[in-house]
Structure 1
Amino acid sequence: MTVTPPARTSRPAAAPRPRIPAAVAAGALPALSFPQPALWWLTYGALVPWILLVRSAPSARRAALEGWLGGAGFLLAVHHWLLPSLHIFILVLAALLGLLWVPWGLLVHRLLGGDPGPGRTAVALLVVPAGWLLAELVRSWEYLGGPWGLLGASQWQVPAALRLASLGGVWLVGLLLVAVNTALAALVSAPRARRAAGAGLLVCAAVTAGAWWWAPVPRAAGTVRVAVVQPGVMPGGDRGLRRFDREEALTRGLAGRRVDLVVWGESSVGTDLGRDAAVRGRLAALSRAVGADLLVNVDARRSDRPGIFKSSVLVGPDGPTGDRYDKMRLVPFGEYVPARSLLGWATSVGKAAGEDRGRGERQVVMRPRSGSGSGSGSGHGGGPRVGPLICFESAFPDMSRHLARSGAQLIVAQSSTSTFQHSWAPEQHASLAALRAAETWRPVVHATLTGVSAAADARGRTIGRWAGTGASAAVVYDVPLAEGTSPYARLGDWALYGALATLLLYVLLTLRRPVPPAR
């Protein structure tokens, strides 16, 4: 008797589980390009594993999933230092914001999936970077967390990238970085399109070289001496009082050093100067002793307006000069809770703000009225015209650009990272000074209460040495001023608008004549 073996049934597709952690890990890889690791060179290939994974997805639905998971992994890695404050809520935020990379995943799969030819690869070199920029743009909205960890910001210490930033801001740098990664991924995975991928790499190199050789540079306009007072972490009780005493002592030590401006960090004064005459008098006495105005930062309930405000206040020999800037863009959950009626429960699982801070209404350019230093670039014998930013406002390109266009000669960012002192946050925050300086052709001084203080000249080059997280000192920087208006300050976000126009054109052409699906 002949026994007929049972017919073989087709095996079910392999479970996709290994691809899920791979997508999260691939998305997290670019975070190593930022300080502290500062592996800036990694950025030029860090997206390749993620792109290769998404392009090989068996379906568009799976590609969208892996774009989402990679985006969540990237945001978790870049913002991991928020975990002690937000706890499990950071996972919810990363999952929600990671959805912004779903369209990017679909674009990668559609244009690079299968065996793309030269034409489809050439389109990918334009559209895939534009799709990435769209995700960065949306998540840069202040109510979604702001532009912390933009890919282009990882190149803050690369002179050629800083020159590109002076032309098109951090957006242009990010576009070229994603284009390079896209070309490398095509070079590895698309045999029929290697010439197109190679040509794309050459174009990126040519654009960078052209910017390096022919982009305009700022003109020197004298030097100003700026002192940064960083008291450092104050353990134990009565930290506010002891911190003020330490700041006062460090500032008095600047007498005779011929400084033009003294800058204290964020939340350096914990009482309203309109109400506290004693503190007001102590600050005025410090200004007289040093021979320069003080730019302090008040974090207190106002006497003239309801609510708590964080404010940059200029204090001269006779007290506050009247120049005041109230912080406009607040840190979500750290300084206010979005939709508090719905998300107020976040205060019970983390260190979210128990009371929303007040918001300022406009940016301010201040004119210090004193200054005993060289002041050779200030124009009127005092300090330079100063444009203050507070905390993570230095991450917003449009704010520093607006200050430059409004006449600021020096941009000062006042910050504090006491909650995140032993994380990657202080170094990453300080690195933004170089990027904002290169974009605007205005030197930037990053002054911290705790964290890392730094300064950068108008080309984004670091001045002197950073004052690290363990420093408790007054550091003096001889800051070169500059004249002229950078192309980015003059033209604005043209690279971003160009990317959005490219995406719109691609969508319209696709709707009119769909691109064949990946084979």
Structure 2
Amino acid sequence: MRIPVGRWRPRTAHVAASPWWRGAAAVVAGALPALAFPAPSLWWWAYLALVPWMLLIRTAPTWRRAALDGWLGGLGFMLAVHHWLMPSLHVFILLLAALLGLLWAPWGPLVRLMLSGVPSRARAAAALAVVPSGWLMVELVRSWEGLGGPWGLLGASQWQVPPALRVASLGGVWLVSLLVVAVNTAVTLLVSVRALRPTAVAGLLVCAVAMGAAAWWVPAPQPAGQVRIAVVQPGVLNGVGGAERRFARAEELTRELAGRQDVDLVVWGESSVGADLTARPAYTARLAALSRQVGAEVLVNVDARRSDRPGIYKSSVLVGPEGTTGDRYDKMRLVPFGEYVPFRSVLGWATSVGRAAAEDRRRGEQPVVMTVGERGLRLGPLVCFETAFPDMSRHLVREGAQVLVAQSATSTFQDSWAPGQHASLAALRAAETGRPMVHATLTGVSAVYGPEGERVGAPLGTDRSAAAVYDVPLAAGTTPYVRLGDWAVYAAVLVLASLGAVGAARSVRRRTAPGTPAPRARTARGSPVRPGR
């Protein structure tokens, strides 16, 4: 039987050219990278996940369509990576995703510029640097705290890949993102343009060699002993009196640590104490008694209105056998809508739609490095959302922190991907800084990572109510990322600036080249002046 191909082609072409089809395809393609993050944690998928999106953009018939494909793909990406926020923000998350998705609108034309048609070998080679640099600019802008912070950076999907973690110690999560997008760009060229397959293969080899060279060349952290740190995770507690019941359960679990030798520090999760310790001395006395029983200081997190200044703060407070030690850190970077409402006078209605903060928390003024115990252990505390920011952990290590400690609470999103995603960030911060990181939560996932980002001991999952002791390895030395900072970001800016300079130079040459027809003179009405008239 002969298939009437001619009858089907117009229908297929019509579907492919439909703006609705392209729009839906862009949203789905943009959502695909989410599978590389926990819980699926398909780290290898990150190296292919952008290919469908980029293949779609390179076929865009116009620059405007490419920008639209970039925007819709960005919308899909933000929805997929932050889908666990839906119970809190409801329909408001669609507006946020649409606004943040606009950041990818310029990336669409950039992809089309570098990959459309049959690029020359020079343009294809340049694309391996330009396209990742454009992506990194999007990640950098959306990493601003007011836009939601650096959650879901593509490089963060590689938190369990040792060579990628070594790359992070060289250039931070930013350099890992550049390499991941470069591989996606090379694969896009490989599958779309047959004539450029040698160039694409060469690009893949360069990326592989770069990652291997980083893993071989970057010095490993130098061992410097170890400390024993206990993590107390109360778990999910249903019923009334949540704050007091949570405190009592953490108190009970901490008592179980008594008699265990050489515990240097006990860490409770975020909002583990619901009252100001100055105003409630009974809580301070109970914590001091625990410190004496265990033989170690206790780092708690107070989420309460302070008695010495107006407003509610989230504060890491160190308590010893005699009471508070005077070391206190107030959280500096707050979660938009979760802990404060931006432009509350305009967006205050969000509190009636979802679980937005009824009252804004107050910000701390500066990071703090605490000194713990007789050994003088230098501790760098972070609170929840702050672990997503590479610059904060880097600053603490430059100030002398030997151990990074994050106090977190993701109980609002207990049965979602959020707890696993949050815990995975500690591996990246540890690898970037060459310092171990302890991630302690109220309800899981609590985990500890060594100076190379390697997992230490077994994590406490979201189904656990327990206390666990970890032998945390210490390290000396300074990673290139701590020493040099965000040089990968500056390199990406330089690549894009060079692209702009080349484009401007070509435009000037075209306008001034000999033989270029001069513009025709026009009459006052706009019609050309003809010779002889």
Q: Is 1:256 equivalent to 2:259 in the alignment? A: yes
Question: Match for 2:407 among 404, 411, 414?
Answer: 414
Q: Is 1:463 equivalent to 2:456 in the alignment? A: yes
Q: What is residue 307 of structure 1 aligned with on the other side? A: 311
Q: Is 1:269 equivalent to 2:254 in the alignment? A: no
Rg: which structure is higher? 2
Q: What is residue 366 of structure 2 aligned with on the other side? A: 362
1:507 and 1:132, CA in 2 relative to 1: closer, same or farther beyond 3 A?
A: same
Helix, strand or coil at the partner of 2:165: helix
Q: What is residue 498 of structure 2 aligned with on the other side? A: 505
Question: Match for 1:488 among 481, 494, 498?
Answer: 481
Q: What is residue 35 of structure 2 aligned with on the other side? A: 32
Correspondence 1:49-448 to 2 at 5 A: 49-258=52-261, 259-369=263-373, 381-382=374-375, 384-448=377-441
Quote the sequence identity (%). 69
Higher mean C-alpha displacement, 38-47 vs 382-391: 382-391
Q: Which whole-Å CA distance do the structure 2 matches of 1:121 and 1:107 have between them?
A: 13
RMSD: 1.4
Q: Which whole-Å CA distance do the structure 2 matches of 1:426 and 1:515 have between them?
A: 53
Is the 8 Å Cα contact of residues 118 and 192 (structure 1) preserved in structure 2? no
Q: Which whole-Å CA distance do the structure 2 matches of 1:95 and 1:448 have between them?
A: 31
One-letter code of the match for 1:69? L
Q: Which whole-Å CA distance do the structure 2 matches of 1:384 and 1:456 have between them?
A: 17
- Runs (4+) of structure 1 moved beyond 4 Å? 10-13
Q: Which whole-Å CA distance do the structure 2 matches of 1:77 and 1:511 have between them?
A: 38
Q: Which whole-Å CA distance do the structure 2 matches of 1:448 and 1:23 have between them?
A: 36
- Aligned-residue offset at 1:444: 0.2
Cα-to-partner distance string for 1:337-363 (whole Å, 9 max, x where unaligned) = 011111111111000001000000100
Q: Which consecutive unaligned segments of at least 5 residues does structure 1 have?
A: 1-9, 370-380
Q: What is residue 43 of structure 1 aligned with on the other side? A: 46
Question: What is the TM-score with the length of structure 2 in the denominator?
Answer: 0.92
Q: Which whole-Å CA distance do the structure 2 matches of 1:85 and 1:513 have between them?
A: 51
Q: What is residue 477 of structure 1 aligned with on the other side? A: 470
- Aligned-residue offset at 1:514: 4.9
Helix, strand or coil at the partner of 2:368: coil
- Aligned-residue offset at 1:511: 2.1
Cα-to-partner distance string for 1:29-66 (whole Å, 9 max, x where unaligned) = 00000000000010110110000000011111111001
- Aligned-residue offset at 1:515: 12
Higher mean C-alpha displacement, 504-513 vs 459-468: 504-513
Cα-to-partner distance string for 1:372-406 (whole Å, 9 max, x where unaligned) = xxxxxxxxx43521000000100000000001100
Is the 8 Å Cα contact of residues 434 and 444 (structure 1) preserved in structure 2? yes
Helix, strand or coil at the partner of 1:237: coil
Q: Which whole-Å CA distance do the structure 1 matches of 2:376 and 2:245 have between them?
A: 29
Is the 8 Å Cα contact of residues 118 and 195 (structure 1) preserved in structure 2? no
Q: Which whole-Å CA distance do the structure 1 matches of 2:507 and 2:112 have between them?
A: 14
Cα-to-partner distance string for 1:232-285 (whole Å, 9 max, x where unaligned) = 111011111111110001001101112100000000000000110100100010
Q: What is residue 374 of structure 1 aligned with on the other side? A: none
- Aligned-residue offset at 1:510: 1.1
Q: Which whole-Å CA distance do the structure 2 matches of 1:109 and 1:38 have between them?
A: 30
Q: Which whole-Å CA distance do the structure 2 matches of 1:104 and 1:236 have between them?
A: 49
Q: What is residue 373 of structure 1 aligned with on the other side? A: none
- Aligned-residue offset at 1:196: 1.5
Q: Which whole-Å CA distance do the structure 1 matches of 2:467 and 2:376 have between them?
A: 18
Question: What is the TM-score with the length of structure 1 in the denominator?
Answer: 0.94
Q: Which whole-Å CA distance do the structure 1 matches of 2:385 and 2:505 have between them?
A: 43
Helix, strand or coil at the partner of 2:457: coil
